[in-house]
Amino acid sequence: MLIRFERKTDLEAWRRELSPDLRLGFVPTMGALHRGHLALIERALEECDRVVCSIFVNPTQFNQAQDLQHYPRTEEKDLQLLLEVGCHVLFLPTIEEIYPEGPENAPNPFVFGELEKVMEGAHRPGHFRGVAQVVSRLLEIVRPQALYMGQKDYQQTLIVRSMLEQMNSAVQLVVCPTVREEDGLAMSSRNLRLSAEQRALAPEIYRAMRAAATAFALRKEAGLPAPVGQIEDRYLQELAALPGFRPEYFCFARAADLKPLRDLPPEELPPPEEVVLCTAVWVGDVRLIDNLIVS
């Protein structure tokens, strides 16, 4: 059975009734659920006694009104999938429930420094402030022991980890591997907006990332510093040459803090397992992101 709450007071009342011995897992989403989300819920179900999933399309993390407007909403299908997977609770709040004072007046005390200025932060100003705002608010309401998020949004997981530290929170962040389509395309709600032609070409993003990661790892294996900038430029150009593709960045970075490797002297390049390759590519008017730990 799936219990559905729209009001935060109802969810909070349910939460108060839950025995403190039970472990509560939480999977925040913006809906349009796919196998990537379901993998998070399945992992939470394996590791927790109860699992709450939220669906809330958070206005404060969209820096383009168009993106918010076009964000896919598939509520009936989402409900069906949550029932099938065996999720216990769905929290489906309104904007007023989450931001009683209005989204623009919601508290946002976090500071992320360089981490919110690179990659997604550089191309989507304010995005991570919005993510931290909503995740902290949801955690306050749900009060889980464990929070499940996907590696697909790698930078987001680092932001949330830093946010939990800043909150002095005991919540355990569990980052789960990216789920891919058979042809390698990372699962994303935005994939629904690709045309058949764009969908057929979209796996080129993963192919380019794998090729670039191999080029990096091979140089390191041979004991040579990887020519980071050259590798990035080569695959950025390859992606840019595909019809309708407009890559924003294709960047090797330190996995721990996303410091771009381009800025490091060759002798300070970390080993491949401590390097993440991140990319964002517009395919037509759909913006796709992906990443890969290089090893």
Specify the stretch interacting with ligand PAF by CB under 6 A; choose among 65-73, 118-126, 131-139, 246-254.
131-139
* 239 part of the interface to ligand PAF, by CB under 6 A: no
Whole-number Å distance between alpha carbons of 184 and 292: 12
For the bound state, the minimum distance from the C-beta of residue 127 to ligand PAF, rounded and expressed in Å, comes to 9
Query: Which DSSP category does 202 fall into?
Result: T
Comparing CB distances to ligand PAF, the nearer of 134 and 194 is: 134
* 28 part of the interface to ligand PAF, by CB under 6 A: yes
Q: Decide if 241 contacts 247 (C-beta within 8 A).
A: no
Residue position matching structure tokens 């799936």:
2
Active-site annotation holder among 34, 37, 88, 127: 37
Q: 252 in helix, strand or coil?
A: strand
Q: Decide if 181 contacts 219 (C-beta within 8 A).
A: no
Selected from 24, 30, 255, 258, the binder of ligand PAF by CB under 6 A is 30
Comparing CB distances to ligand PAF, the nearer of 153 and 232 is: 153
Let me know if 37 is a catalytic residue: yes
* 40 part of the interface to ligand PAF, by CB under 6 A: no
* 153 part of the interface to ligand PAF, by CB under 6 A: yes
* 32 part of the interface to ligand PAF, by CB under 6 A: no
Residue position matching structure tokens 């191309």:
123
For the bound state, the minimum distance from the C-beta of residue 275 to ligand PAF, rounded and expressed in Å, comes to 23
3-state helix, strand, coil in the chain (%, to 5): 50, 20, 35
Cα dist from 12 to 26, 124, 257, 293, whole Å? 14, 33, 35, 38
Comparing CB distances to ligand PAF, the nearer of 134 and 294 is: 134
Selected from 87, 118, 134, 288, the binder of ligand PAF by CB under 6 A is 134
Contacts of residue 174, Cβ cutoff 8 Å, sequence gap at least 6? 43, 44, 47, 146, 147, 148, 149
Write out the catalytic residue numbers: 37
Q: Contact residues for ligand PAF (CB under 6 A)?
A: 28-30, 58, 61, 131, 134-135, 153, 156
